[in-house]
Amino acid sequence: MEEILSVKNLKKYFVKGGFARQKETVRAVDDISFSIKSGQTFVLAGESGSGKTTVARLILRSIEPESGDIIFDGIKITNDASSLKKIRTECQMIHQDPYASVDPRMKIFDIVREPLDIHAIGKPSERKDLVFAALRDVKLDPEEIASKYPHMLSGGQRQRVAIARSIATKPKLIIADEPVSMLDVSVRVGILELIKELQNKHGISFLYITHDLSTARYVGHVISILYLGKIVETGLINDVLLHPRHPYTQALMDSISEPNPANLQKEKKIRINEPIETDVYQGCRFRARCPYAIEKCKQEPELEPSGDKRSVACFVKID
């Protein structure tokens, strides 16, 4: 299987403060490499502040990386017009909040049509059909919905409109940044099913960014766990989630409450310590909270293969 996107040694630092305060460098994305196979869903999972959205912005080049390469569909993305045009038509994004990501003053038809106009896809006379086809693909009735405004739709429908807009340009890769976390439980599954269906029908690859490991397991094939700008564990989704090896992944799994009546009598145990003061950029970043930390963890662990198509960045590696 061919790789649609490959990211190599990507780095992005932000500088915080400066006025009346000591300048501080935040390593939001620190030497991250991963690749997405064509037709697959790659999950980037982490808590807030782990740098997952920064990765998305770097891929679409809405911010400049410090260093590192992004190779999309065989072409290295740089600042020249042709590669930017390629990534911005063939790679689309779905945002978290469907209430903020669509223009409230535009009709649904125009919202979905806008990317076609911008990228001059199809003849103007054909664009109506393309818009209708995209709306049908996301299970919305174009006749009924095209002339409505976003406020007339429910959250789930709005997210479908955002998805229709993203598939209108026939992209090869869609970056979905927490696409269901703002939606109600009962409509979430519908959106997840839609993502799977679009993948099967059009062969679209997805980069699914989330903090929610249970929805990740439902749509994903491969997963990378991000902690403070570093990938700590990566592998096939069931391997990583069902048998986590990195202490951070284990803590994340411990923290999930499944709907099980047996939970009531059990104590909730999460394998982390109260954070101790450390310099996060010295050695393993999880060291401050890790219950297994040893002296060696003061050095930086590399992401190393640990069998079954998995890599873990940990000196201890607990099974």
Partner 1 sequence: MTTLSIEELEVQYQLRDKTIRAVDKVSLFLKNNESLGIVGESACGKSTLGLAIIRSVPGGKIVNGDITLDGKSTLKMTEAEFAKTVRWKKISMVFQGAMNSLDPVFSIRQQFEEILQAHDYRGDRQKTINDIIDSVGLPPTVLDKFPHELSGGMKQRVVIAMALVLRPSLVIADEPTTALDVLVQAQILSLLKKLKKEGMSLILISHDLGIISEIADNVGIMYAGKIVEFGTLQEVYSNPKHPYTQALFKSMPKIKGEPELISLKGTPPNLANMQTGCRFYDRCTHAMEKCRKEPPKIKTESGHVLCWLYE
Q: Tell me the helices (H) and strands (E) count for the chain, helix number first.
A: 10, 12
C-beta closer to partner 1: residue 15 or 264? 264
Query: Should residue 213 be labelled a site residue for partner 1 when binding is judged by CB under 8 A?
Result: yes
For 86-117, give one letter per residue: b (16+ CB within 10 A) or e: bbbbbbbbbbbbbeebbeeeeebbebbbebbe
User: Residue 290 Cβ, how far from partner 1 at the closest point, in Å?
Assistant: 12
From 195, 272, 288, 297, residue interacting with partner 1 (rule: CB under 8 A): 272
152 binds partner 1 (CB under 8 A): no
Per-residue x/- track, 165-194, partner 1 (CB under 8 A): -------------------xxxxxxx-xx-
Secondary structure of 172-199 in the HEC alphabet? CEEEEECCCCCCCHHHHHHHHHHHHHHH
Q: What are the b/e assignments for 190-222, b being 16+ CB within 10 Å?
A: ebbebbeebbeeeebbbbbbbbebebbbbbbbb
Part in contact with partner 1 (CB under 8 A); list of ranges 8-16, 18-26, 119-127, 249-257: 249-257
Count of residues in contact with partner 1, rule CB under 8 A? 39
Stretch that binds partner 1, among 23-31, 200-208, 256-264, 302-310 (CB under 8 A): 256-264
Give 79 or 257: the residue with its C-beta nearer to partner 1. 257
Beta strands in 17-161 (DSSP E): 24-37, 41-45, 67-72, 75-76, 91-94
Position 11: which residue type? K
Q: Is 277 in the site for partner 1 (CB under 8 A)?
A: no
Q: Which residues bind partner 1 (CB under 8 A)?
A: 47-48, 154, 156-157, 184-190, 192-193, 211, 213-215, 217-218, 241-242, 251-261, 263-264, 267-268, 270, 272
